[in-house]
Chains A and B, each alone.
Chain A
Amino acid sequence: MTAIKAESRRPADETLGEALRSHGISRRGFLKFCATTASLMALPPAMIPVVASALEKARRPSVIWLSFQECTGCTESLTRSHATTIESLIFDHISLDYHHTLQAASGTAAEAAREAAMRDNHGQYLLIVDGSIPLGNPGYSTIAGVSNLDMLRETAEGAAGIIAIGTCAAYGGLPHAAPNPTGAVSVSEIITDKPIVNVPGCPPIPVVITGVLTHFLTFGTLPELDSIGRPMAFYGQNIHDRCYRRSFYDRGLFAETFDDEGARKGWCLYKLGCKGPVTYNACATTKWNNGTSFPIESGHPCLGCSEPDFWDMGGFYRTLSMPTGHFSTALGYGVAIGAAAGLASALLGRSERDKARSAHEKVSVDDLDKGGSS
């Protein structure tokens, strides 16, 4: 990722096709990439040539990447996942005009680059955000003395669209975890008048990030989203439904600990806290590290990292069906309250019965006789 350095910038009118060719990417390799991306985006095969020719001709869009309360894991995921591939080259050939981790410039020069990009491409640049925004105190996180909130508002104003990368930018993520000391919120809680695509994950799968970019380059629009703003093409499928351990779940074969027979035999990790059943992401099909594997394949339950509040889902190793919080304590209180109320009610009943008994006047045969004769 070298696009940042001002002196090494490629001409703005160079198309993506030209740039790829100058990097020695063959036509065959390029088409293969287009086919994979098209299928990932659930496009019919007839769309492959459309994707290819659109990408060929695509000019490098200006991209501003803002990093707020984050750990740089999302950037790491994208840049260090594997050896140079066409995905990373595509990313290389967008005009990444501002990214404070990757850019060579710093201080005033860096901010000047951001301002220049905003001015020159007003209304057209793509804004990528990773990290959440603290609302508690503007001083919790600042860049060049500007609070995250102000910088986001300012930069979002002229953006064509926003991509919230990672669960922090998409839903608040780790900083938002209870008790949320900084008052962290997601991008969509602040910006409401721009198209926003959430690409959650802790971190997100690199090819999902480039897939969204490819969609933007190909169609000039942002992809179709689900109810919480994620691209359907990548987040439409449930991990549990796509998991290769599913047959063990259905047969009732579970690993009970991380080193028992079940774990060695690759049985289902549900009891060890797997959040696959409530998680929507492409891990089970796209996989990580150049398609090597994904967490469940490595023997670890899914953490549900692409879902809102995954840090607060009651503990990573707690079975999904187990109640969280103070369930047993609640039961204890229930017994105590019930016993006290039951005892009180029973004693009240008894005293009423005794009262009725003592108020009961005995009637003798003579009384009845008297009653009859009167």
Chain B
Amino acid sequence: MSGAEFLLWMRGPGISFAALFFIAGVVLRLIEILMLGRTKNLAELRGSGSTAGMRTIATRFLPADANTFRRSLPTIVLGYLFHIGLFVVIFLLTPHIKLFQSVFHIGWPGLPTPVVDFFTVVALVSMLGLLWRRVSNRLLRFLSTGEDYLSWAVTFMPLLTGYLSYHHLLLPYSWMLGIHILSVALLLVIFPFTKLMHSFTLFIARYYNGAIAGEKGVQQ
């Protein structure tokens, strides 16, 4: 198999199959969660659940209190850098925008590639930092399972292979680009059934917590 054939297969059946798996998995999980339902709240409402729910979605972007912030400083800072980097790379690189455009038929302007490149490096370095913290901190290491390392690896690989293919490093571009798409395919397949699903459930969870507290009149 030549690099061109591999790339062609990944751009065609490979990524289509992974996307099918991904979307089916995400929809399955979301329907399961949303159809769990809630037990009827028989108590008298003391505030609006939905307002509090929406507010919690926003407020949880900020650290809860100074003490938590100080104790988890590396996780918070590196975590933010990584997520911002990832967002920029996925949604603001022109080749990626064209991909979304081919599905959703809407496009938006991309950033210059050196800028995206910079954010890729930011994301890669923060991920390495987060991994280092996970293995060097005894408590975090104790709490970590195989799934945590797997989620880390399948997120790291697309960033790394994307960086390598953009810079034409290691392998001919068609091979590296094919491997990049393959790494994304792996991420997509694993995504719905690991904690990577938090990209969707995080908003549901925040809303739910906020809404319950709001209905009980908890001051936020």
Contact = CB atoms under 8 A, between A and B. Distances in A.
B95 A342 contact: no
A350 interface: yes
B31 interface: yes
Contact of B22 (A227, A278, A334): A334
A252 B102 CA distance: 18
A265 to B, nearest CB: 16
Interface in A138-181: 171
Nearest to B24: A338
Interface stretch (B53-61, B62-70, B126-134, B168-176): B168-176
Nearest to B17: A330
Given A322-B99, A323-B102, A330 B27 contact: no
A251 B111 CA distance: 8
A321 B36 contact: no
B79 interface: no
Interface residues of B, number: 48
Interface in A237-283: 238, 240-241, 249-252, 254, 270-271, 277-278, 280
B30 interface: yes
A350 B31 CA distance: 13
A345 B28 contact: yes
A116 interface: no
A350 B35 contact: yes
Interface stretch (B2-10, B136-144, B147-155): B2-10
A310 B8 CA distance: 10
Contacts of A334: 19-24, 27
Interface string B28-43: 1111100111000000
Dominant secondary structure of chain A at its interface with chain B: helix
A322 B4 CA distance: 15
A92 interface: no
Most buried by A among B3, B27, B37: B27
Contacts of B4: 278, 304, 307-310, 313
Given A250-B112, A308-B2, A323-B15, A313 B8 contact: yes
A352 B73 CA distance: 44
B98 interface: yes
A271 B20 contact: no
A327 B103 contact: yes
B115 to A, nearest CB: 8
A268 to B, nearest CB: 9
Interface of B: 2-5, 7-8, 11-13, 15-17, 19-32, 35-37, 94-96, 98-99, 101-103, 109-114, 168, 172-174, 177
